[in-house]
Structure 1
């Protein structure tokens, strides 16, 4: 009997990803990384640390290069903005010269983590989990590769070449492990009373639904991950969200029991540590990146670069300083100066513009910032006279607001019908009502007649027209060549 005998043959294959080149260097003497202070203190000043085990010993341990891992749950096939906080934490370790191991839960994703959940997580299909593991492995490497370029561009003083992150799936060690072997290796050292006391378990035990044995055992699987990575890769630090504190402690406890280290005086030597990040929420209190309408992806094919940029541009004043510290490598003193400038003229939203520029460059590169700004000009600025067709196509590539159609259709169809076909409005009657209230615009000029069509001389650069409903919804129509 195998621990994961229900897996298909395909889902038991080891994940192999050919990583993009991430030949970057650790920053030598830049203000942004505060290399004169230790890494943990730097992370604390920026707001990354919620809890840490044996803080002073961890700081001492990190004076020499270590291996650190971050678990990523394969519940979806793409990364979203909620992943930025743990990934940036991992990236700071990487920039200080530590080996980083993003661990995708190919095995644990089949079980489900009860942490932070009030109800049982539905079991995922094995093939779907494997697909997500493959996609996330590539996405994590792409993010860290782009983050490396972002860092090296901003801070040219570099030294100590660092290695490419080593992506792993925990299916690698769980796929052939028998149930009896797991019980004798891990279960033997687990105390049920300690497991029950974990917050993720105790909260569910107090609920009406309770907790299944499958989810109850999850902390042992994650504990074994830490043990295997410590044993085989020298990993001494695990990063996780605040809801992972109990699982991290379980891993530390297992390592201490299976691989104890005793000092010269006979006392126990602490050699592994845990760092958790705070729960990040939106101003409304929703979990950052997870709530309905807030799952902004880091993949431009799921969330356009423009929408990604706008998400951060809409950050309220109460949160912009926090996000600048967490999601950029800007020096803290530069952030404070930017916030002071913003407070003097808050109507300019200069801090939000800085945040949107920096995070978009981090995730989508310099070209992404250029595209997002040009898309903003097309969709929100009044002067459209200088617009060029190719720039429009480049800026809105993959964006649902861009519609390319034959010229005869563009010029011979009423604006009412064009707006409906482009899903700018839901119905002909809705479009007609907008026209009667002066709320439907073509190139920022109100449409005056329901029978009105686009005139040839209205096309920007002979091919482009912007149709807007109200103040926020718009589409860009481009005639095909």
Structure 2
């Protein structure tokens, strides 16, 4: 009865209140700060009045590091936070650090960054600018389906490059405008600087100055776009408060009134064991398909540990608390089905790669893991595996009556015919998800599903997909 009830309720919001961590949850919250807090996306704020501030339309910015040509899974927490503001009608700004990227942020690092060449940095800035526009566009479409009750008419997001103003600023201007209001004792006291000062490598003046450049970014965005909120990772607290302080100093009038500026920090994305995701952690899963194929992106989330999946569903999707509760009940009832992980993978693949990306990931999963392969169409396989070396298109004469072991060697699936025969004899080879026992097997018409394709698999990870067209006279 438990399985039947869960199956009937899967994917449907039921009318009850759920409890997590002692907090009462509703489906979705109108106030963005309340929503972020409930989803575990809020680490700290510079003011307890931020929920009241965000009840009115605000301008919010997120800084993006262009030290690579793509964002990665570790950036999704910050991107989702920005997206929560965007769908509620706030003006959002993504700042790509074409200027600060010439220096490098010491936050969260134990050693000095390698400086990028100007050409490499320019390529990274261009790539990430395109990626930010695409993410916010796809994210708004995704949110409209998941959270129609809170999705409002959105203001067109802005993507800016801080080299546009930092690159024009002279050292004298910087010292007069920014340096005058910086207190070295306060700069040294910030956690990111203190940790480096206590390390063997120390910190260079270049990276020490980074917080002042980021502070000036906030001031410029406040001046030009009335930006009043900066969001960033928990390791950005010192840089963010440097910006709020600078805005206060530079906008104070003769009676002591200063503009209000706020900071909101978010937790870093980690596993249950405390492992971080990112470039420096060496385990980056990229959002750019050319760096991490959509299938690998999808499978990364399918393989998430049971201890992490609930947290990721809450932080990285727009599913309601009720939907997440239902998924986790089903997950706990039968963990081997990995229902929660599969839903997480579907939600994030659609968010990052769109409907088309999700379709291709599902198709590839069906092909490579042998689930309902009879339902597949050859054209869908061709589209999903475009450019993938595991797929070959061959004429009928190149496959008819050809030995399986020869085809696997010729097209790089297995290094030799001897190894292929050994794998077959050891019961580790499959043709169209059926174990192959004949090491002398030659392909004929009956081996091609819908007269178009055959799928060879050795073990769990080696595949060869052959697409052809069986002539009419053989059908």
Query: Aligned residues, how many?
Result: 446
1:287-315 superposed Cα distances (whole Å, 9 cap, x missing partner): 22447774322233333332222221222
Residues of 2 paired with 1:165 and 1:174: CA distance? 22
User: Where does residue 45 of structure 1 map in the other structure?
Assistant: 38
1:304 and 1:399 in contact (8 A); partners too:
no
Whole-Å Cα distance in 2 between the matches of residues 275 and 112 of structure 1?
Answer: 21
Pick the aligned partner of 1:135 from 114, 127, 130: 127
2:65 to 73, 92, 95: 73
Scaled by the length of structure 2, what TM-score is found?
0.86
Q: Does 1:33 align with 2:28?
A: yes
**Partner SS for 2:94:** strand
1:462 aligns with 2:454: no
Instruction: Name the counterpart of 1:181.
Output: 173
Q: Is the 8 A contact 2:143 2:151 kept in 1?
A: no
Residues 304 and 398, structure 1, Cα contact 8 Å, conserved in 2: no
Measured in 2, the distance between the counterparts of 1:243 and 1:407 equals 59
Q: Secondary structure at the match of 1:92?
A: helix
CA distance in 2, matches of 1:288, 1:59: 29
Q: Following superposition of structure 1 onto structure 2, how do residues 66-145 of structure 1 map, counting pairs within 5 Å? A: 66-145=58-137
Residues 365 and 159 from structure 1, CA distance in 2 versus in 1: closer, same or farther, beyond 3 angstroms? Answer: closer
Change (3 A) 1:191 1:156: closer
- Structure 1 residue runs of 5 or longer lacking an equivalent are 1-29
Is the CA contact (8 Å cut-off) linking 2:287 and 2:352 kept in structure 1?
yes
Shift of 1:118: 1.2
How far residue 381 of structure 1 moved from its aligned partner, in angstroms, is: 2.6
Q: How big is each residue's C-alpha offset from its partner over 1:141-191, in whole Å with a ceiling of 9 and x where there is no partner?
A: 101101111122334457752211110000110111111111111112211
**What does residue range 407-422 of structure 1 map to in structure 2 within 5 Å?**
407-411=396-400, 414-422=403-411
Tell me whether 1:306 sits opposite 2:295 in the alignment.
yes
Shift of 1:465: 1.8
Cα offset, 1:110, TM superposition: 0.9
1:279 matches 2:255: no
Shift of 1:430: 4.2
CA distance in 2, matches of 1:282, 1:414: 46
| Aligned-pair CA distance for 1:252 | 1.3
Within the candidate set 206, 216, 224, 1:224 is matched to 216
Partners of 1:476 and 1:262 in 2: how far apart?
74
- Any unmatched runs of 5+ in structure 2? 1-24, 471-475
CA distance in 1, matches of 2:151, 2:103: 42
What is the rounded CA distance, in whole Å, between the counterparts of 1:379 and 1:107 in structure 2?
A: 44
Shift in Å at residue 196 of structure 1? 1.5
SS at match of 1:47: coil
Superposition deviation, residue 270 in structure 1:
6.7
Shift of the alpha carbon at 1:45? 0.8
Q: 1:261 to 1:322 in 2, by over 3 A?
A: farther
1:198 aligns with 2:187: no
2:201 pairs with 1:209: yes
Confirm or deny: 8 A CA contact 1:239 1:275 kept in the other structure. Answer: yes
Is 1:161 the counterpart of 2:153? The answer is yes
Alpha-carbon shift at residue 323 of structure 1 (Å):
0.9
What displacement does 1:414 show? 4.5
State the alpha-carbon separation in 1 of the partners of residues 322 and 259 from structure 2: 35
**What secondary structure is seen at the aligned counterpart in 2 of 1:235?**
coil
SS in 1 for 2:393: strand
Please report how far the alpha carbon of residue 384 of structure 1 lies from its aligned counterpart in structure 2 after TM superposition. Answer: 3.0
TM-score (norm. length: structure 1):
0.85
Distance of 1:448 and 1:431 partners within structure 2: 12
Instruction: For 1:381 and 1:460, locate their aligned partners in 2 and report how far apart those are by CA, in whole Å.
Output: 13
